[in-house]
Amino acid sequence: MLPSFRTSPLRERVLGEVHARPFRPLSTPRVVLHYAFLTNSQEAAEDKVWLGEFCRSRGAAGPAQGTRYHRVEFGEGTLNWEQHAEFTTYTWDGAATSGRIFNSIPTGHPFGAAFRAPGDLLVAVRLELHNELADDTWRTAFDIGSMAVSSLENGQATVATDFRQDGDGLSRFLVFNHTMSDVQSGTVVQRLLELETYRTLAMLGLFEANDLQPDIRRFEIELASLTEQMKEASGLDSNRELLDKFTGLAAALEAGATASTFRFGASRAYYEIVNVRLTALQEEANPGDLSMSSFLARRLSPAMRTCQAIEDRQAMLSRKLARATTLLRTRVDVDLEQQNRSLLQSMNRRARLQLRLQQTVEGLSVAAISYYVVGLLSYLAKGSKDAGLPVPSATVTTAVAVPAVIFVIWWIVNRIRAHHSKEDMDDA
């Protein structure tokens, strides 16, 4: 028994995740129907609710809270339900007729009128597990032009498929069990179903890349045109207009890159899973036939390289746009600095003119104030003389007062200006 340690709330989930999708033993012969539906978070939640009601209507328990895997007995077989990040799978397996391959789909499966598809169907597989047949008549069930036949598990099994849809819209896989146990059979079947599911999901990135190619080509042409215009552009207004165009182009490019980031990343992850499953199957080419690895490498690998090429072009365009935008922004900043310098010079000239005008006004104001003060003194002298006070003549008194008045007025004006200048410096 463990000591009373504080347990992480994620411990149970981590331990449970390792056993979330165990390999289930399958007896031979067996038929497996596998469907994968693209689902968003809302569709996945609604599907889980529906599955719970579906199971309870048949007297079985539904999926537990927080689980993404559930198994329930259905008819003469078993139904497995799994939820993934962007898709949900339903897989049913039941007994098959020995020695007879790809007859009519057996009854007893859940995918009838009462079944509720959780989202858009993406993968539909019919896999049959049989003992080895006496002849090669089974080859007629596949398109000879795209048929792949491989030896699995060091020769203990053989798988054949053409990765095409049959009349029921199902991709066919035929597995011959030579010496595998039921556990090995279940492991091989599950890996083959995952191989088909993930290789289909990986191909979604190709269509995203194909949709983006015209836009990226247009961006490349527009970038070349704008760069050429940038060489000839001069003046702040012209550079600003070009900067707006560069910014708009960068925004459009980033919008497309952001929208495709998840799809390309998911395709890479799915492609890696496909390669891991092929390795785990220990696949070897059947003599005279094309192996699944060779078939998938012929189309899946170029598709992944196309996705990578589009990502690289997006990244390169983004870097070029960033450099061009930075260069143009620098040019705009230089033009703005030059414009600001010219504006400051103009303001300095205007300030000097205003100072000169102010000094002129101050000189005139000293003369004007002195004139009025001297006039007042003249009236005062005349009045004092008429009143009999002992003062010199009014003319002499006025003449003597002129220099003194002018000096006093000039001194007062300078004191006022000095006081205002000091206040301006303290405010600054």
Q: Report the amino acid identity of residue 379.
A: Y
Of the listed ranges 85-94, 269-278, 320-329, the one predicted with least confidence: 320-329
pLDDT, average across residues 67-81? 88
Of the listed ranges 9-13, 85-89, 138-142, 307-311, the one predicted with least confidence: 9-13
Q: Which residue has the higher pLDDT, 104 or 152?
A: 152
Q: What does the pLDDT read at residue 89? A: 95
pLDDT, average across residues 119-129? 95
Q: Quick one: which of 24, 76, 44 has its CA closest to 191?
A: 24
Q: What does the pLDDT read at residue 74? A: 84
pLDDT, average across residues 388-392? 67
pLDDT, the chain, mean? 84
The string of pLDDT tens digits covering residues 401-412 is 778 777 777 777
Q: Which residue has the higher pLDDT, 339 or 32?
A: 32
Helix, strand, coil fractions of the chain, as percent rounded to 5: 60, 15, 25
Q: What does the pLDDT read at residue 377? A: 72
The string of pLDDT tens digits covering residues 175-197 is 999 999 999 999 999 999 999 99
Sign of dihedral through CA atoms 206, 210, 212, 217? Answer: positive
Q: What does the pLDDT read at residue 388? A: 67
Tell whether the model's pLDDT for residue 342 goes beyond 90. Answer: no
Distances from the Cα of 160 to the Cαs of 98, 133, 205, 286, 401, in angstroms? 17, 13, 26, 10, 128
Question: Listing from the earlier edge strand, what are the strands of the sheet with 284-285?
Answer: 69-74, 77-83, 87-95, 30-38, 120-131, 171-177, 157-165, 148-152, 284-285
Of the listed ranges 22-36, 133-147, 234-248, the one predicted with least confidence: 234-248
Neighbours of 60 (CB within 10 A): 15
Position 20 confidence tier, pLDDT thresholds 50, 70, 90: low
Position 58 confidence tier, pLDDT thresholds 50, 70, 90: confident
Tell whether the model's pLDDT for residue 139 goes beyond 70. Answer: yes
Copy the structure tokens of residue 80: 């497995």
Of the listed ranges 51-55, 88-92, 177-181, 239-243, the one predicted with least confidence: 239-243
Copy the structure tokens of residue 251: 């925004």
pLDDT, average across residues 18-33? 80
Q: Return the domain boundaries, the chain.
A: 19-180, 204-341, 357-427
Tell whether the model's pLDDT for residue 279 goes beyond 60. Answer: yes
* Per-position DSSP letters for 54-83, written without gaps between them: HHHHTT---PPTT-SEEEEEETTEEEEEEE
pTM of the predicted protein model = 0.74
Q: What does the pLDDT read at residue 378? A: 75
Of the listed ranges 21-35, 96-110, 149-163, the one predicted with least confidence: 96-110
Whole-number Å distance between alpha carbons of 25 and 373: 122
